[in-house]
Amino acid sequence: MLKRGLMQLCVGGLVAAFMFLPQEGAAAAQRKKPRTVQPVAKQALAKKAVVKKTARPKLVRKVVAVAPPRPSYGQLAGLHGMQDELDLKSSVALVVDQDTNEVLFSKNESAVLPIASITKLMTGVLVSEAQLPMDEIITITQADVDTEKGSSSRLRVGTELSRGELLHLALMASENRAAHALGRTFPGGLQVFVTQMNIKAKLMGMQDTRYVEPTGLSSKNQSSAKDLATLVNYAHSDPVLRELSTSTGYQVAVGNRTLQYNNTNRLVKNPSWDIGLQKTGYITEAGQCLVMQAKVAGRKLIMVFLDSAGKLSRIGDAERVRKWVETNHTPGVRPAPLASREHARRG
């Protein structure tokens, strides 16, 4: 009986032990099973993947080479390297007392350079002296369109204006099509007009001067400061040229439009200046140019500034000269008298 009880006890213990084994095995298997990614983590990874796919590509900056501005003829000749006591930005300058012919200031005055729209002053001289009817209507044609520099104009092909209006715009606002139309409609045509420009220059003693067209757009229109001082002195004798070149503004009716033009020289509006005649000019080859007749410190002066660097530098140079003359009246060299209007007419 004792042995049977011991055997039942052992068998019962074994059965109990085996009943617990499967549960422990399942737990162990559960512990060995790899961990799964939680739903939140899955969403985060998904968002990260989407962001990575839709990320913008990096911008590639292209470096565009900008060509340096073309030098003027004066720069190519090294004229800007010359220093002067007034520290002018113009490579060529000349200041002459109109009454005494005294040279008060000079800088490279004999250098021959392109003169840009200073050309229009000679254009005005010829048109005015020809005594053509100023009320005659002239039509702007395709021939007046700039093919030299491709510059624009508000005077469209087909515009009709009087000769007087065109002369006003050419001298005051430096209108290229206006100047070209004046030369084109001159008796004999454009080539005759250009020939007369050169003949007139020689009669006035302007030996360094050459013209190939009436606007100044061509760099082949060239002169020296000495010659241009002669031209300013001569043109100043004409009341029409004085009035039109110093006009501050002018309106012209073109079809249903009214065009407002202003003087290219801001000094004509400056009350501290008394300007009797003026003309500005600019093309790349010539730089910024300015010629004037003005009263400064009680003296009638002729000023020439050529090949100035910078848009406002020619104005700044004129201001420097004016202040210098007001405080310094030291006379310079006396040159030969400037050509008179009567002498040129006799020639």
CA triple 69-74-79, angle to 5 deg? 120
Token reading at 219 = 């760099």
Q: How far apart are CA 125 and CA 100, in angstroms?
A: 24
Q: How far apart are CA 178 and CA 123, in angstroms?
A: 11
Look at residue 63 in the predicted model and tell me its pLDDT.
64
Look at residue 3 in the predicted model and tell me its pLDDT.
46
Q: Residues 26-77: pLDDT tens digits?
A: 444 444 444 544 554 455 445 554 545 555 666 667 666 666 778 999 999 9
Say whether 117 is catalytic.
yes
CA of 127: how far to CAs of 21, 175, 227, in Å? 126, 15, 20
Please give the sequence-ordered ranges of beta strands (E in DSSP) within 53-207, or none if there are none: 90-97, 103-107, 113-114, 137-139, 160-162
Look at residue 275 in the predicted model and tell me its pLDDT.
98
Look at residue 62 in the predicted model and tell me its pLDDT.
67
Q: Residues 277-323: pLDDT tens digits?
A: 999 999 999 999 999 999 999 999 999 999 998 889 999 999 999 99
Say whether 247 is catalytic.
no
Q: Give 58 or 214, the one with higher predicted confidence.
A: 214
| Per-chain mean pLDDT for the chain | 85
Q: How far apart are CA 304 and CA 208, in angstroms?
A: 15
Q: Which of 91, 106, 128, 174 is catalytic?
A: 174
Nearest to 304 by CA among 92, 89, 122: 92
Q: How far apart are CA 230 and CA 234, in angstroms?
A: 6
Q: Which of 120, 200, 226, 279 is catalytic?
A: 120
Kindly state the percentage of the chain with pLDDT values over 70: 75
Kindly state the percentage of the chain with pLDDT values over 90: 71
pLDDT of residue 347 exceeding 90, the answer is no
Nearest to 306 by CA among 102, 73, 69: 73
Look at residue 329 in the predicted model and tell me its pLDDT.
59
Structural contact between residues 115 and 221, judged by C-beta atoms closer than 8 angstroms: yes
Q: How far apart are CA 26 and CA 23, in angstroms?
A: 5
Nearest to 212 by CA among 195, 187, 188: 195
DSSP structure class, residue 79: G
Q: Which of 117, 218, 224, 245 is catalytic?
A: 117
Say whether 174 is catalytic.
yes
pLDDT of residue 1 exceeding 60, the answer is no
pLDDT of residue 22 exceeding 50, the answer is no
Look at residue 20 in the predicted model and tell me its pLDDT.
40
3-class DSSP state of 211: coil
Look at residue 336 in the predicted model and tell me its pLDDT.
52
Q: Give 118 or 330, the one with higher predicted confidence.
A: 118
CA of 67: how far to CAs of 64, 71, 288, 294, in Å? 10, 12, 20, 39
Q: What is the pTM of this model?
A: 0.78
Q: Give 8 or 94, the one with higher predicted confidence.
A: 94
Instruction: Write the CATH number of the domain with boundaries 73-346.
Output: 3.40.710.10
Structure confidence at residue 255 as a pLDDT band (50, 70, 90): confident
Look at residue 302 in the predicted model and tell me its pLDDT.
98
Look at residue 24 in the predicted model and tell me its pLDDT.
41
Q: How far apart are CA 260 and CA 251, in angstroms?
A: 5
